[in-house]
Amino acid sequence: MGILDFLSGQFIDVIHWTDDTRDTLVWRFEREGHEIKYGAKLTVREGQAAVFVHEGQLADVFTPGLYMLETNNMPIMTTLQHWDHGFKSPFKSEIYFVNTTRFTDLKWGTKNPVMLRDPEFGPTRIRAFGTYSVRVTDPATFMTEIVGTDGEFTTDEITFQIRNIIVQESSRVMAGSGIPVLDMAANTGDMGKLVAAKVSTVLADYGMTMPEFYIENISLPPAVEAALDKRTSMGLAGDLGKFTQYSAAEAMTEAARNPAGGGLAAGLGAGMGMAMAGQMAQGGFAPGPWGAAPQSRTAPAAVQPAPPPPPPPVEHVWHIAKDGATSGPFSKAAMGQKASAGELTRESLVWTPGQDGWMKAEDVQELAQLFTILPPPPPPGV
């Protein structure tokens, strides 16, 4: 074997790249002095592309396959440098491997609320977030416009710029869609396609595309969400009269289970019970002979029973607040006795079930009568 054959054999090299980082977009094949051996074997795997750079100028792009780096299969290199050396010397060039697979589950979100005019709520603000994926479709453009001479280019170096583009385009789409906020959740798929198309137009200048874009959530400000929750609760309550009766029955049951409530619990239960009895009587229900079943006022035409007597008036029970403590419940007769004894005055604070807060006794029509029957105080000096 001659010396030339021996030296030529020393220049043979294998160039390839296997990546397990899952976030590397571009990786440069490193060799001492950037010397690529003449006749080296270049292996480009599926999901990759190899960009050949010679003396700072992009020379060629290799798609997946096995290549022998010689002048007969590198026409661009042949025009850049004449291979007129019988020694077949190595050439100083660089090879960049570009990952052309999809990079998925990349996050995006609006830093600040997006202002829009909702058909139902008027001017409002919303936030949105989701995920997207990108891939390199034009390795040469990507290397020229974005990477440059970076030996290891990761997704973190480009996703910040992509997120800014996404926020800008998604804000335009959501604000200009005219879709009510309450209906946006049903249209996230269509809005995502519109945003992806807009962003892909910008990314094409980078040699990239956005094959997937997802809007995971669109949220309103906390104050608006609280108002919506109240509105939903009112809708679930339905008939407010029946809901009030149900709440009163629940309060009575809870009071019976809590004997520590004392007189206050008993008074509340008695007041609610009498109020519910009056409502049931007014609604056309009366207890049967043994209290087993309600009876209707409507009887067969052959027998016309006498109409039931009017329901007895509902007697209120009262509570008195004095010096930060409450006492009661007291019947109206007991309240009259306290008024006679001076324990109940016009300024005393009283409350009965169904009353909106504590009130002065003289402001309650039913109790004001207790003070009008009393003689006025004697004139001074008599």
Lowest mean pLDDT among 167-171, 200-204, 275-279, 365-369: 275-279
Across residues 287-310, what is the average pLDDT? 56
Reference 80, options 43, 55, 100, 104; nearest CA is: 55
Residue 129 has a pLDDT of 93
Reference 335, options 353, 313, 320, 357; nearest CA is: 320
Q: Which residues contact 55 (CB under 8 A, 6 or more apart)?
A: 80, 81, 92, 93
Residue 21 has a pLDDT of 86
Vertex 243 angle, CA 242 and 248, to 5°: 95
Handedness of CA 367, 369, 372, 375 (dihedral sign): negative
Give the residue, 309 or 97, on which the prediction is more confident: 97
Domain spans of the chain? 3-99, 103-224, 240-273, 318-372
3-state SS assignment for residue 218: strand
- Supply 216's token pair: 């995971």
pLDDT in tens, 322-337: 877 888 788 878 878 8
Residue 311 has a pLDDT of 67
Residue 338 has a pLDDT of 80
| Spatial distance between the Cα atoms of 253 and 13, rounded to a whole number of angstroms | 88
Lowest mean pLDDT among 175-179, 215-219, 250-254: 250-254
pLDDT in tens, 69-79: 775 555 545 44
pLDDT in tens, 130-162: 999 999 999 999 999 999 888 899 999 999 999
Q: pTM for the complete prediction?
A: 0.55
Classify 103-224 by CATH class. Answer: alpha beta
- In Å, the largest CA–CA distance within the chain is 149
Quote the mean pLDDT of the chain: 77
Question: Quick one: DSSP state of residue 146?
Answer: I
pLDDT in tens, 212-233: 999 999 988 888 888 888 777 7
Q: Position of tokens 């008695």?
A: 270
Q: What is 318-372's CATH number?
A: 3.30.1490
Question: Does residue 47 come out as left (phi exceeding 0), alpha (psi in the -120 to 50 range) or beta?
Answer: left
Q: Position of tokens 């291979």?
A: 83
Residue 382 has pLDDT above 80, yes or no: no
Is residue 30 within 8 A of residue 16, CB to CB? The reply is no
Backbone φ and ψ for 158, nearest 5 degrees, come out as -125, -25
Question: Does residue 335 come out as left (phi exceeding 0), alpha (psi in the -120 to 50 range) or beta?
Answer: alpha
Containing 115, the helix (H) or strand (E) segment is strand 114-118
